[in-house]
Structure 1
Amino acid sequence: MYWLVALITLSLFGIIAMGIYFEIRPLAKATPWLKSTVVINLLTFIGAQIALLLLGIQEVMAAPGATQAAPEITIGMGLAMIGVGIPTALATIGAGIAVGPVGAASLAVIAEKPEIFGRTLVYLGLAEGIAIYGLVVSILLLGKLA
């Protein structure tokens, strides 16, 4: 199984290296060996992906079941987890309400004065920051739960 992961990794590195090489030294005319190399590399990648998928499914299906029972979640713990998600939900709704008018106004202003593009991005970033604050609060509350 590890040899397939190594093959996929090498294939990806090959694709990336070829992309960087041809970005630095573009060809005026495509050569026949170039097309065959790219095709062989992509076919190797796709074949290794399919083999990894098939062998991985077989290995997972053959694995013994988990012997450890899952811990029971009480009603209080369930309500606490719902409470942890509420700040993110409300902050995301608030950010969506804020970004709508700010984005529309930004587009209108940019159409008239393109030089204020950076300033409008700051206002959009401030509106989006609301959602990030809600996510941070949820992460802090989740840390208190564990």
Structure 2
Amino acid sequence: MYWLVALMTLAILGLILTGLVLELRPRASARLRDWFRPALGTQLVVFVGAQLGLLVLGLNDALAATETLAETAAPEISLGMGLAIIGAGIPTAISTIGAGIAVGPIGAASLAAITEKPENLGRTLIYLGLAEGIAIYGLVVSILLINKI
């Protein structure tokens, strides 16, 4: 499994180095564009393949570990308890999706406003904070629900 981690690390380092070359030497990147595109594609394929390999190998390790944990008298969770835990996590999931949808346009608009008037930085940060507050509200609701379980 360590070779998959090494493969992922090499793929990420290759992507970072390629990005640096493209950023720092734009003239050279125009000449080497035919070489960089397949290299980037290959590195992405290697990275995603290594992640899938880690997922499969990690899943096998996790399943093997649960068999040994079951022998140590772990308490069983009923179907109702499992559904209650999932239900407690739903507010966090929905609120973070909503916060992500809100922060995107607000962030773009705030950057545009800051470039025109830099003194509006404080106001735009307040708007971004209000949009992020949506996710915090969902997290608080989930924590309160988990305390009731």
Q: Compute the TM-score of the two structures, normalised by the length of structure 1.
A: 0.53
Superposition deviation, residue 66 in structure 1: 8.9
- Deviation per CA, 1:91-134: give whole Å up to 9, x if none: 00000010011000000000000000000000000000000000
Give the corresponding residue for 1:98.
102
For 1:118, which of 115, 122, 126 is the aligned residue?
Answer: 122
**3-state SS of the aligned residue for 2:76?**
coil
Percent identity, please.
78
1:127 and 2:148 equivalent? no
Structure 1: segments with no counterpart, 5+ residues: 1-64
Structure 2 CA distance for aligned equivalents of residues 130 and 96 of structure 1? 9
**3-state SS of the aligned residue for 1:76?**
helix
User: Given residue 84 of structure 1, which amino acid in structure 2 is its aligned partner?
Assistant: A
When Rg is computed on C-alpha atoms for both structures, the one with the higher figure is 1
Give the corresponding residue for 2:142.
138
Coordinate RMSD, CA, aligned: 1.5
Structure 2: segments with no counterpart, 5+ residues: 1-68
Q: Which has the higher helix share?
A: 2
Structure 1 CA distance for aligned equivalents of residues 71 and 105 of structure 2? 54
After TM superposition, which residue ranges in structure 1, 4 or more long, deviate above 4 angstroms? 65-68
User: Given residue 74 of structure 1, which amino acid in structure 2 is its aligned partner?
Assistant: S
Superposition deviation, residue 67 in structure 1: 6.9
Structure 1 CA distance for aligned equivalents of residues 70 and 95 of structure 2? 38
Structure 1 CA distance for aligned equivalents of residues 82 and 104 of structure 2? 33
Structure 1 CA distance for aligned equivalents of residues 71 and 134 of structure 2? 43
1:81 and 2:81 equivalent? no
Aligned residues: 81
Q: Compute the TM-score of the two structures, normalised by the length of structure 2.
A: 0.52
